[in-house]
Structure 1
Amino acid sequence: MSMFRRAATVLAAASALTLGLAAPALAHVTINPGTAEQGGFTKVAFRVPNERDDAGTTKIEVAFPTDHPLAFVSVKPVNGWKVKVTESKLPKPVKTEFGDLEEAVTKIEWSGGKINPGEFQEFEVSMGQLPKDVTELVFPATQTYSSGEVVKWADAPKPDGSEVEHPAPVLKLTPATGDGHGAASASPTPAAAPAAQPSMTPVAAASSADNTARVLGGAGLAVGVIGVVVAALALRRRPS
């Protein structure tokens, strides 16, 4: 019996160790979805879990790339949170199909809310045009807790793919497969006009109206014929 108890103890310890090693990898700030098409527009969500048991997350900052800046960036309001979008002058202008880009969004900050222990929050951003000459964009993030602790999720991925201690959110870019506009809902182009609504006239009512018109037309023709006959008889009865 003691052998089974020892085996159970070893198994429990191994499970706890495995969960302890896996927890940090699951708790970092991520970008979802993690892929988008090169040269297009997309909508992503920065997912921020709270990994502390004794403090809540009160602020999150996300830095945007300046070597491959994005010309169009907009944010979706989050209830209970204030958002601050910072635009800065780029080190050097970047040529895009919309012209030379001299300023771009370099940081977005959300504050004023709170992510409690055991919870997470998503902060949505629409952005583009995504570059065509790189395979990924890195968005270093800074997470601030109510205890005053600050954690920087800013480690870029390693070339060999091994795990880093504080991984930054990474958006993988894949070759365009369609017209190059990525997610159509996030594109700044005007939305398509709504399709015309079908007629709501009931078929039965239309048929009834058509039958009524035919009856009235036939009655009118009959009255006309009767009038002609009456006039002809009157002329025949007139004395010569």
Structure 2
Amino acid sequence: MSGVHRKLAAAGVLGVAGALLLPGIAAAHVSVTPNTVQDGQSARVTFRVPNERDDASTVRVELVLPADHPITGVSVGQVPGWTVTVQKQKLATPVSTSDGSVTEAVSSVVWQGGSIPPDQFAEFPVSLGKLPPGQLVVKALQTYSDGQVVRWIDGPEAGADAAHPAPTVTVATPAPAAAPKSESSADWPARVLGGAGILTALVTLALRRRSTPGA
């Protein structure tokens, strides 16, 4: 095999290897489940954070909630080995709720003190208050033990091929309940005929009784 042919063959092998590796790399991002919830209801979601590197551990995870759609009710689940901090900010316009006026909302949630080693992932549960319809984009910042910060902040507008997609929850409006089926006016002939049949049977019975002696 000539030198040119060897180079082409090597390039082909590398291309196949890259094609096999890319799907795994693309799939290893911060995700959220479920990724679709109903609006007007609270939702319990779980953020899964995988460690993409083989030479460092993940030591800090921060979730940044959108400021344009403040979420007034946020609570977080305990994750063994991690310390969680909930950060809040004042709202420019207070939000009215069934419990009164709310003047601040959660801006971010930070977990630190734990560790996600290479080839492992961790899950971080969060309970969110009532959500407006649309898409809730939660930016995630993943910090490694060597100081590298990976920013998972690309919104849906970046497309399916975004390098660092942010975990996104679609808040759907439930379909309206089907209205009770009304009786169609087309059924009236059947009802009339049915009533006429009953009336005929009654008249026939009455005539038979009159024609029967001693009735």
Within the candidate set 150, 171, 182, 1:173 is matched to: 171
Aligned residue in 1 for 2:122: 121
Displacement of 1:78 in angstroms is: 0.6
* Inter-partner Cα distance in structure 2 for 1:19 and 1:102: 50
Aligned residue in 2 for 1:62: 63
Provide Cα deviations, 1:58-81, integer angstroms capped at 9, x if missing partner: 000001122211121111101100
Aligned residue in 2 for 1:28: 29
Provide Cα deviations, 1:97-127, integer angstroms capped at 9, x if missing partner: 5443320111100000000000000000111
* 1:140 paired to 2:157: no
Provide Cα deviations, 1:17-47, integer angstroms capped at 9, x if missing partner: 2233223321111111111111111111110
Taking structure 1 as reference, are residues 25 and 94 closer, same or farther at Cα in structure 2, changes over 3 Å only? Answer: farther
Identity of aligned residues (%): 45
User: 1:29·1:168 contact (CA, 8 Å) conserved in 2?
Assistant: yes
Give the stretch that moved more between structures: 64-73 or 14-23: 14-23
* Inter-partner Cα distance in structure 2 for 1:155 and 1:95: 31
Q: In structure 2, the residue corresponding to 1:158 is in which secondary structure? A: helix
* Inter-partner Cα distance in structure 1 for 2:129 and 2:175: 16
Aligned residue in 1 for 2:149: 150
Query: What is the TM-score normalised by the length of structure 1?
Result: 0.65
Query: What is the TM-score normalised by the length of structure 2?
Result: 0.72
Matches within 5 A, 1:1-240: 13-131=14-132, 134-158=133-157, 161-176=159-174
Taking structure 1 as reference, are residues 178 and 12 closer, same or farther at Cα in structure 2, changes over 3 Å only? Answer: farther
User: 1:78·1:123 contact (CA, 8 Å) conserved in 2?
Assistant: yes
Equivalenced residues, count: 174
- Structure 2 gap segments, 5+ residues each: 1-8, 178-215
Taking structure 1 as reference, are residues 95 and 58 closer, same or farther at Cα in structure 2, changes over 3 Å only? Answer: same
Taking structure 1 as reference, are residues 177 and 125 closer, same or farther at Cα in structure 2, changes over 3 Å only? Answer: farther
Taking structure 1 as reference, are residues 97 and 15 closer, same or farther at Cα in structure 2, changes over 3 Å only? Answer: farther
Displacement of 1:148 in angstroms is: 0.9
Taking structure 1 as reference, are residues 64 and 13 closer, same or farther at Cα in structure 2, changes over 3 Å only? Answer: same
* Inter-partner Cα distance in structure 1 for 2:38 and 2:13: 44
Amino acid at match of 2:162: V
Q: In structure 1, the residue corresponding to 2:24 is in which secondary structure? A: helix
Q: In structure 1, the residue corresponding to 2:92 is in which secondary structure? A: strand
Provide Cα deviations, 1:147-166, integer angstroms capped at 9, x if missing partner: 1111111111127x432121
Taking structure 1 as reference, are residues 38 and 154 closer, same or farther at Cα in structure 2, changes over 3 Å only? Answer: same
Taking structure 1 as reference, are residues 108 and 178 closer, same or farther at Cα in structure 2, changes over 3 Å only? Answer: farther
Q: In structure 1, the residue corresponding to 2:23 is in which secondary structure? A: helix
User: 1:158·1:164 contact (CA, 8 Å) conserved in 2?
Assistant: no
Taking structure 1 as reference, are residues 120 and 21 closer, same or farther at Cα in structure 2, changes over 3 Å only? Answer: same
Displacement of 1:139 in angstroms is: 0.5
Q: In structure 1, the residue corresponding to 2:102 is in which secondary structure? A: strand
